[in-house]
Each structure stands twice: as C-alpha cells, then as structure tokens.
Amino acid sequence: MDFWTHMFDEWALYELQQFADGWVFVFAMLFFVFELLRLVLKHEMSWTTIGDSLSNFITLAVHIGLAALFAGIYLGAFYLIYPNYILELLPTNYWTIAICIVLADFAYYWEHRVAHRIGLGWATHTVHHSSPFFNISVAYRHGPLDAIFGLPFYLPLVLIGFDPYLVILAATIVQLYQTILHTETIGKLPKVYEAVMNTPSHHRVHHGSNPQYIDKNYAGIFIIWDKMFGSFAEEQEKVVYGVSPAINSVNPLVVFCHGFTGLAAKMWQTKGLGNKLAYLIQPPGWQPQGWQPSGLSPSRLQSSEQVPGSTNEDVTKNEDVAKNTAEVRKRLK
C-alpha cells in the first residue's frame, strides 16, 4: 500500500507530464518513419502525402505557440478555484492519479463530442479531420482553438479537489494515448481489449467520412463511454477519411484556417444577428430556414440526422461524402 499512497508534489507531476510527452513524441516519430517506409514499399507514397504530413507538423508548431499563450488562462482559471472553492482537498498519489485519468477521459469524451456538435467547436476541430490520410502525423494536426477549447470540461476536476497540475497531467495522458491510435498499420486487437479500450480500429471509424461512421467513437482512452452514450460504431467497411466538401489543399494556412473562414463566411452571408450567432452553437450543417448558401464549409452532418433549419440538399451532399473524398484523393495522387 505504501506504493499506491506515495505522494507527488506539483514539480514531480510537471516532470511526469514532460517525460511522457517527450517520449511519446519520439516513439510517434519513429513509428511515422515506419509508416512512410511501408507506403514506399507498397508504392502508395505520393507528394500529396508528404505535403499533407508537413502541414500537420506546421499546425503542431502553431498549436505549441498558442498553448504557451493560453497556459496562463488555463492555470489562472484552475487556481481561481483551487484550493479555495474545491469540494475536498485530495492528496496526489497513485490512487488519485489513476482516478483523475479516468475522469479526464470522461471529460474529454464530452469535450470531443461537443466539438463535433456545435459550429464553434467544429470550426477548430475540422482541421484535425480534414486530412484524406490517416497516419501518426494526423495526430498532430491541430486547429486554432484546440489549446483552449477543453478548459470548461476540465474545470470540474479541479472543483472536485484534484491538483491543477494533476489535471493537466491526466489530460495530457489522454491526448498521448490517442496519438498512437492514428494509424492504418495496426488491425483489430483482441476482442477483450477492443471491448473496453479505444484502439486504432475504433479511431479509424471516428475519422471516417463514411455516412455510418460520422460522429462516432469520440473516446480518448476508454471506448466504454461511446457504448454507454450511444455513439459507438464498429469498423466494418473500408474507412474513407476527410471532410465534405474536401479542402483539397496541403497549404498549411488553408489547413489551419479553413474551419473559421468557412464559419465566418456563413455568418457574414446570413441575415440577422441572432442567425449569425446561432452558427456558433448550432450543429455543423445548420442554416436558417429559407436561406440558400453560396457554398458549404466542411461538415460532418450525420446522414440519418437532419439538423433543424437545414435543407435536404445538405444531407444529400453529406451522404455522398465518402465518394467525393475518394475522388479527391485519387486526383491528388
């Protein structure tokens, strides 16, 4: 029991976070080299793959800079609550670290789900989904607000009484686990593991633009959240990646900004302040009654779910997403 009750201070938590972050990145880069070699051997390598991967790492560099800027907001919000307004001052040991990771994963599930279901969230998260490829580099494909969007979802963990640095460590571990899921080189894992844990197969589904895969498998570490809340889908037919309409570009500026430029264009073109602001909180694909858009920004509207206020044309276009993305991928090669 002494092992499980060993206490950690905030510096130790910070060192653990840096250690995990650094070594997972090293592993990811080695694995990425393996993925590239595999593509070369299968004669599937293209300049588009290389350009897309480079764009991913450029968005990562921008994300790191933004994360540094937002770090003060994160810690400021956490320490505004901790330790003055918490429910219970919890010790930081192996027990509470394990519990905090599970709760952080639960928080991430809802953060991720909300990012798919409101316009502001999708404007930043669409960047991650816009690649027509699926490899480790896609894990580092970040949008403009990715570094701050999760803050409201992790504040309750601090309110419960977890040390802010422990919450940051737990959230980091959830993200790092997801990093290694971005690959096509690993098939399905043993059924017992697939039943409880998120896997490359489950996460391929999440990135799929096939109609039956859209808005499925939000989990970070534990796939049980999706099974509990009705958002689980198993990988069956071949996954087609990307968004509809496809961004059709490896320009890092286009990749990084296309979600917000599309959202801004919709808000600019529609009439009425209420309708303009509604785009921030309504699901992707929503539009005011009677409004005819000049174009569609990338969307992942479920084919089986008509968003109130949208047109049948929007749904039809989203049902054709897999076909469109496949054609774009062929042209880019």
Look up the pTM and report it.
0.87
Give the separation between CA 204 and CA 108, rounded to whole angstroms. 18
State how far Cα 132 lies from the chain centre: 15
pLDDT of the residue at 193 = 97
Cβ-contact 200, 186 below 8 angstroms:
yes
pLDDT of the residue at 144 = 97
Tens digit of pLDDT for each residue in 233-271?
999 999 999 998 899 999 999 999 999 999 999 999 999
Residue 310 has pLDDT above 50, yes or no: no
Give the separation between CA 36 and CA 133, rounded to whole angstroms. 12
pLDDT of the residue at 316 = 38
Q: Which residues of 34-66 are buried (b: 16+ CB within 10 A; e: fewer)?
A: ebbeebeeeeeeeebbebbbebbebbbebbeeb
Between 88 and 62, the more confident residue is: 62
Average pLDDT, the chain: 88
Residue 76 has pLDDT above 50, yes or no: yes
Tens digit of pLDDT for each residue in 200-225?
999 999 999 999 999 999 999 999 99
Cβ-contact 163, 12 below 8 angstroms:
no
Tens digit of pLDDT for each residue in 11-53?
999 999 999 999 999 999 999 999 999 999 999 999 999 999 9
Between 103 and 321, the more confident residue is: 103
Percentage, residues of the chain above pLDDT 90: 80
Two tokens, residue 113: 């789900």
Residue 312 has pLDDT above 80, yes or no: no
